[in-house]
Amino acid sequence: MENIIEAKGLTKKYPKCTALQKVSLEIKRGEIYGLVGANGAGKTTLLKILAGQIFPSDGEFALFGACEKKEQENQRKRLGALIENPGFYPQMTIEQNMEFYRLQKGVPGKQIVEETLKSVGLWEVRKKKGKTLSLGMKQRLGLAIALLGEPELLFLDEPANGLDPAGIIEMRNLLKKLNREKNITIVISSHILSELEHLATVYGFLDKGKMLEQISAKALHEKCGDYLELKVSDAEKYTMLLEKQLQHTSYLVLEGGMVQIFDMKFDRETYSALAGENGIGILAMNMKQNSLEDYYMNLTKGGQLV
Amino acid sequence: MRNYIKSEWYRVTHTPTIYVFTGILAGLALLFNLLLWFLDKVDPTFPYGTTAFSLSNLAWMMTMLFYVGMILVYLVFADDKKNGSLKNSIAFGISRIEVFMGKCVVSTLVSLISLAVILLVFLGSAVLLLEPGVEPRAVEITLQGVACVIPMAVASEVLGLALCSFCQKEVVAGIDWYVVMVAIPQICYILGLKFEPLAKIAAWMPHNYLGREVIANMSGWHCLWQTPEGVAKCLISGFIGLIVFLIFGLLVSKKQEV
């Protein structure tokens, strides 16, 4: 698949901090790339560099294969963006703001404004002025502006901010539909990881300006699969038996006699019997699932799944 | 750039700001002439109820056009950084240079139309309501003066736009504009009283020549632009200012982060 974005060593330094440190990434056509990171991790900075709003201090990137600044400006006509706060004129109505950006993007046909506003649920309130909109409506308008003219690439920075639960689901479905039906590549950032779990096909984990890992949703799902958590009286002895008798090496020992067993090859009873037959007490036993949040927390703590 | 200009034109014509701005200034101009007319009617000895007196207020304050232009820039174009529309334009592939030049074009067009309306109301009401006064060619001289000052007024707007994109805060842009357009010429003039070469430079600064080489009062009119040399001075300095401020604007907007 064609790489839509290829970045190498992107760095952004400000006088008092380094927001991005040698970030490299590849985004292929048709992917929904979830940028995961806490506040201040560098998600917005990365998106702003890719959108041309700020300049990198070091490093380079190709957008639709274009590396030169002028070429990149031309290629940006193929993208839509909602970065930080939605940008619009508060004294104009929703419809006027859309018309303003339609003219600016050179999108032919006024009906596109109606179609786009309908897709984000703002058509009925199109006569409302920007300054009177609720946070959720502003976010929808920002999304509508980004979607004008059917871009091939979308940059969405925390798009669920201010949306109610129904709005979040609507937005998610809309983005999935656009990705599925029109093969639009989406780069979406969020610190609400559960939101990305429903959407992303590839993840990039950012922390303190560094790209910790890029992983496909499939690979992540395998890594994050179900696991068995046991609290035993002697964790050291139990894990030794686990390796010797069951040839099981995929586990993690936590504090307080807690053992997490991944990639289970046997049923729960086998693991419980292993303890019972060897005089190890089982104080608790639960089936659990590693969430994206757990995975991210492990990564940022420098922890790793065994 | 054509698309950007179209969109800016659409925005400016679909928001009330420019209409309110033009309406207020035209209203004030009309009110001024109505007041003179009224005073003339109630007191026949009132000496100022004349077209010449009314228009002299514009003739000797042509620098007012610079301030009006800057206010217009401030009201109509300065907030796109704050409301985030500029970052959208950049993300949609419009270059910073296109944004700056597009704004210059729209701002010039809009201000010229606004100026035409205000002048029409001001000159029209003065001619219709008031007696000619000491200078029967007042309308002609005033229009000639406006025409001579337009290049510098546009330059002043371009400077305003450049500073708005350069400065993080609009207030700072306003202060910087004042420094360039008013404070520096004033300082140069004062220093020129002591240092001859500086006096020659100061004499080419619009704030100085429009303030010191224009006399329009009840005794008569002697305006700089009534001579070919004066017209040349106004136009040359105006176009030089326009080029300098355009280059400055292009340089700063190229490096602007949004």
Q: Tell me: the pLDDT tens digits for A38-88?
A: 888 899 999 999 999 999 999 999 999 999 988 999 999 999 999 988 999
Cα separation, A189 vs A196, in Å, equals: 8
Say if B227 is an interface residue toward chain A (CB within 8 Å).
no
- Provide the angle, in degrees to the nearest 10, between the axes of the packed helices B51-59 and B17-42: 140
Confirm whether the ipTM is greater than 0.90: no
Mean pLDDT, all residues of chain A: 88
The answer to whether the CB atoms of A89 and B17 lie below 8 A apart is: no
Contact A201, A214 (CB under 8 A): no
pLDDT for B103 equals: 94
From CA A243, how far away is CA B14, in angstroms rounded? Answer: 74
Query: Does any domain span residue B248?
Result: yes
Contact between B237 and B213 under an 8 Å Cβ cutoff? The reply is no
Percent of chain A clearing pLDDT 70 (strictly above): 98
Query: H/E element holding B174?
Result: helix B170-178
Cβ contacts (< 8 Å) between B94 and chain A: which residues?
Answer: 73, 104
Q: What is the pLDDT of residue A29?
A: 93
Classify residue B96: in a domain, yes or no: yes
pTM given for the model: 0.84
**Inter-residue contact A299 to A212 (CB < 8 Å):** yes
User: What's the pLDDT score for residue B144?
Assistant: 92
Examine residue B244 and state whether it is found in any structural domain, yes or no: yes
Asked if A51 and B90 come within 8 Å (Cβ–Cβ), the reply is: yes
Q: B6 vs A85: CB contact, 8 Å cut-off?
A: no
Domain span at residue B247 reads 2-253
**pLDDT of A304 higher than 70:** no
Cα–Cα distance, B173 to B71 (Å, whole number): 11
The total of other beta-carbon atoms located within 10 Å of residue A10's CB is 24
Half-sphere exposure of A71 (CA within 13 A, CB side): 8
pLDDT at residue B205, rounded to an integer: 93
- Check residue B169 and give its pLDDT: 84
* Mutate: best of B88, B89, B252, partner A, most A CBs <10 A: B88
Chain A residues with CB-CB distance to B14 below 8 A: 92, 96, 100
**Residue A163 confidence (pLDDT) above 90:** no
Q: Please, which residues 161-190 of chain A have a Cβ atom closer than 8 Å to chain B?
A: none
pLDDT tens-place string over residues A176-191: 988 998 899 999 998 7
| CA A65 to chain CA mean position, Å | 23
B257 and A105: CB-CB below 8 Å? Answer: no
Q: Report whether A256 contacts A188 (CB < 8 A).
A: no
Contacts of A103 in chain B (CB under 8 A): 3, 6-7, 10
| Residue B169 forms contact with A (CB below 8 Å) | no
- From B94, which residue of chain A is nearest by alpha-carbon distance? A73
Residue in this structure with the two tokens 């703590």, named with its chain if needed: A301
What would you report as the CA-atom Rg of chain B, rounded to the nearest whole angstrom?
Answer: 20
Give A79's contacts in chain B (Cβ within 8 Å). Answer: 91-93
Identify whether the C-beta of residue A136 lies closer than 8 Å to the C-beta of residue A167. yes
* pLDDT interval class at A302 (50, 70, 90): low
Pick among B92, B253, B255 to test the A interface (most A CBs inside 10 A): B92
Q: Is B246 within 8 Å of B158 (Cβ atoms)?
A: yes
Q: Count up the domains in chain B and report the number.
A: 1
Q: Grade residue A303 by pLDDT with cuts at 50, 70 and 90.
A: very low
Question: Are A144 and A116 in contact, with CB atoms under 8 Å apart?
Answer: yes
- Pairwise CB contact (< 8 Å): A87 & B6: no
Task: Answer yes or no: do A103 and B95 touch at CB < 8 A.
Answer: no
Tokens of B170: 């609009």
Q: Is B14 on the interface with A (CB under 8 A)?
A: yes
* CB-based contact A101 B15, cutoff 8 Å: no
Q: In this complex, is the C-beta atom of B19 within 8 Å of any C-beta atom belonging to chain A? A: no
- The shortest CB-CB distance from B87 to any of A79, A83, A100 is to A83
In a domain, B135, yes or no: yes
- A225: pLDDT strictly greater than 80: no
Distance in angstroms (rounded) separating the CA atoms of residues B192 and B205: 12
Q: Are B86 and A55 in contact (CB < 8 Å)?
A: no
Do the beta carbons of residue A139 and residue A86 sit within 8 Å? yes
Please name the helix (run of DSSP H) or strand (run of DSSP E) that holds residue B104, with its range, or none: helix B96-129
* Series of mean pLDDT values for 10-residue runs along chain B (258 residues): 93 94 96 93 88 89 92 86 87 93 94 95 92 82 93 95 87 93 94 91 92 82 89 94 95 88
Chain B, residues 239-258, CB within 8 A of chain A, namely 255, 257-258
How far A259 CA lies from chain B's nearest CA (Å)?
49
Q: Write out chain B residues lying below 8 Å of A84, CB-based.
A: 84, 87
The pLDDT, as a whole number, for residue A249 is: 83
CA distance B50 to B127: 9
CB–CB of B11 and A92 under 8 A? yes
Interchain CB contacts (distance < 8 Å): A and B = 90
Cβ-proximal residues to B94 (8 Å cutoff; 6+ apart), any chain: A73, A104, B3, B4
Within-domain flag for B222: yes
**Which residue in chain B is spatially nearest to A106 when comparing CA positions?**
B3
> Does B237 map to a domain?
yes
What is the pLDDT at residue B156?
94
Residue B114 within a domain: yes
Residue A305 has pLDDT above 70, yes or no: no
* Cβ contact, residue pair A52, B11, below 8 Å: no
Q: Give the residue from chain B lying closest to A95, CA to CA.
A: B14
The pLDDT, as a whole number, for residue B83 is: 85
**Sign for the pseudo-dihedral over CA of B253, B254, B256, B258:** positive
Measured between CA atoms, how close is B15 to chain A, in angstroms? 6
Q: Give domain status of residue B258, yes or no.
A: no
pLDDT tens, position by position, B21-37: 999 999 999 999 999 99
pLDDT, mean of residues A231-249: 89
d(CA B252, CA B70): 18
Query: Hey, is the C-beta of B100 within 8 angstroms of any chain A C-beta?
Result: no
Length reported for chain A: 306
Partners of residue B83 in chain A, C-beta under 8 Å:
87-90
User: If residue B212 lies in a helix (H) or strand (E), which one and from where to where?
Assistant: helix B206-212
Q: What is the pLDDT of residue B67?
A: 93
With contact defined as beta carbons under 8 Å apart, do A191 and A202 qualify?
no
Nearest chain B residue to A80, by CA: B92
